[in-house]
A and B are shown apart, each in its own frame.
Chain A
Amino acid sequence: MSPAIRVVGVTKRFRSLQALAGVDLEVAQGEFFGLLGPNGAGKTTLISSLAGLARPDSGTLEVMGHDVVRDYRAARMALGVVPQELVFDPFFTVREMLRLQSGYFGLRNNDDWIDEILHHLDLTSKANANMRMLSGGMKRRALVAQALVHRPPVIVLDEPTAGVDVELRQGLWQFIRKLNRDGHTIVLTTHYLEEAETLCGRIAMLKAGRIVALDTTANLLQRFACRALTLKLAAPVVLPPMLASRASKQDGVELAFGFDRFDEVADILVGIKSAGGAIVDMALGTPDMEQVFVGIMNQN
């Protein structure tokens, strides 16, 4: 079975900016995959290259085994892209726009599927409204609908929840999760790292056009994030040097320590007790994707 996406040695330069500096990546069919990175890391350039909106200087890209240049028709049929910018055609209503988009992909009489998409994206009541009349969140959902009209096996969402309120965002993810359960491969870029952590099975992190981390979400959290122990004492104490050097925060009665293994917690607690400290409150922080992201970006 060919991977949903295969990227081999892709480079792309815009004048003096090396947007992609040799990217290799494979996303298996059915994955929920996250593509993270700071602004300018090359995420959108990579997506544009996959979608045929940008032409790489070297390397190859395939969607469902179809080369995006040589076999572009099959590759584009297999791909649905939700662009990052909130773009729309002011001449048309939501339904007209979805019918046109269906036609571009060779589909006639696609209204049943269009109605289903509109229902799941809570846009049924706006089907006959001009795109100009929609709010930002609705326009974003209409863009998602456009990417889905041809039922592509691979769906790329480039920051799909920017500007969408919490309730609608949850509805959107519910629908995207359903699509993923139904077998669609999802590739997501987002700046909401908790979304990536919750949704994605695997994550790649890009920086300056290179992949600097690529692993399962669980492994990334395990490998790069240390847990945190936060304590509140009854009164300030002078910590022994060994403990003081490990503290990430010493603010009067509030202390914080990072640790990798749980048996280190016992050492910290014993150290505080030996120093005469009385603990009145304690909390264990679990690692999150933000820590991982910041850690990896600083490393590289």
Chain B
Amino acid sequence: MEGFKTLLYKECLRFWKVGFQTVLSPVLTAVLYLLIFGHVLEDHVQPYPGVSYTAFLVPGLVMMTVLQNAFANSSSSLIQSKITGNIVFVLLPPISYREFYIAYVIAAVLRGAMCGLGVLLVSLPFVSFSIAEPVWILAFTLLGGAFLASLGVIAGIWADKFDQLAAFQNFLIMPLTMLSGVFYSIHSLPAFWQGVSHFNPFFFMIDGFRYGFFGVSDVSPWTSIGVVTVCFVVLAVITLQMLARGYKLRA
């Protein structure tokens, strides 16, 4: 257990030591989105009755930040360790593959949640809203963050160079998050694209998370939590299988 705790501590210390890059920078990016999109669309779009566009945008940006940073943390930590070779320091000690997985996932969720909280706090001066269902917010933060953290572990283990990881991030994670309803309600889309959105697990994460703020969402939060849970469990099983086999880590 001490080994697991130390690995978790080290993973947190790793991102904390470069907090400007890992925490403040994503917060700034999200706030820029908020200022620009909020300014341009505030008077033109009202996604839900009684909810301003800027208020609608904030939970989407918070969750997008949580997801992107959870992915970035586990994936970048692993690929850096693999490429520099210091991954041996965590492979030589008596740490099980389950402890390894849980430590990387918790650290990634923690970074995602910290960045998300940062975006929320910084957006408070620009918008006022109440939190309708905090338990849903917490549930989607943890499950969505863990889903992306697992995806990050897979990408970090699979990628042999930074270029491959960047492709994973830019051609998969980024489009799926941007097209998940962060900036719009899917009810504003044509029927075909509404249907397509239902195949994007990121849509359910954003929509369920937003339900926690307003008590309104495009689909039932129970449907969303079900989809996100199933996706996370499937990914966790795949990741644990990879780690148990030592795929690309233990030759």
A interface, CB within 8 angstroms of B: 14, 48, 51-55, 72-74, 76-77, 79, 81, 83, 85, 87-92, 96-97, 100-108, 146, 150
Interface string of B64-103 (1 = CB under 8 A from A): 0000000000000000010011101111111110000000
Find out whether the CB atom of B7 lies under 8 angstroms from the CB atom of A104: yes
Within 8 A of A (CB), among B206-251: 246, 250-251
Given contacts A91-B13, A100-B89, A104-B90, 12 further A-B contacts (CB under 8 A): A55-B250, A72-B94, A74-B94, A76-B92, A87-B85, A87-B88, A88-B86, A89-B81, A101-B89, A104-B95, A107-B2, A108-B2
Binding site for A on B (CB under 8 A): 1-3, 5-7, 9-10, 13-14, 17-18, 81, 84-86, 88-96, 246, 250-251
Least Cβ–Cβ distance between A93 and chain B, in angstroms: 11
Residue pair A14, B251 in contact (C-beta under 8 Å): yes
In the assembled complex, the CB of B10 is this many whole angstroms from the nearest CB of chain A, namely 5
- Can you spell out 15 A-B residue pairs with CB atoms less than 8 angstroms apart? A48-B251, A54-B251, A81-B92, A85-B85, A87-B85, A87-B86, A91-B13, A92-B13, A101-B89, A101-B93, A104-B89, A105-B3, A106-B3, A106-B94, A107-B2
Task: Pick the contact of B93: A14, A54, A76, A87 (CB < 8 A).
Answer: A76
Are B3 and A87 interface neighbours, CB within 8 A? no
A55 to B251, CA, bound (A): 6
Total CB contacts across the A-B interface at under 8 A: 82
A90 engages B5 (CB within 8 Å): no
Known: A88-B84, A104-B3, A104-B89. A52 touches B250 (CB 8 A): yes
A101 to B81, CA, bound (A): 15
Chain B residue with minimal CB distance to A74? Answer: B94
Query: How far does the alpha carbon of A37 sit from the alpha carbon of B5 in the complex, in Å?
Result: 40
Tell me the smallest distance from the CB of A19 to a CB of chain B, in Å. Answer: 9
Q: Give chain B residues whose Cβ lies under 8 Å from the Cβ of A81.
A: 88, 92
Bound together, the chains give a CA A102 to CA B94 distance in angstroms of 11
Closest 5 CB pairs of A and B: A103-B6, A87-B85, A104-B93, A73-B94, A106-B2
Return chain B residues, CB-CB under 8 Å to A107: 2
| Contact A103 to B86, CB < 8 A, known contacts A53-B250, A91-B17 | no
Nearest CB in chain B: distance from A110 CB, A: 11
Bound-state CA distance A103–B94 (Å) is 11
Q: What's the Cα separation between A102 and B92 when bound, in Å? A: 12
Q: A76-B92, A107-B2 are in contact. Are A89 and B86 (CB under 8 A)?
A: yes
B91 surroundings in chain A (CB, below 8 A):
52-53
Whole-angstrom distance between the alpha carbons of A19 and B112 in the complex?
43
Contacts of B10 in A (CB 8 A): 100, 103
- Docked CA distance A2–B217 (Å): 65
Structural contact, B84 and A90, CB atoms closer than 8 A: yes
Expressed in whole angstroms, the minimum distance between the Cβ of A147 and any Cβ of chain B is 8
Complex: chain B residue closest to A80, CB-CB: B92
A25 CA to B53 CA in the complex, in Å? 71
* A104 vs B89: C-alpha distance when bound (angstroms): 9
A14 to B86, CA, bound (A): 22
Chain B residues positioned under 8 Å from A90 (CB to CB): 84
* Assembled-state Cα–Cα distance A53/B82 (Å): 13
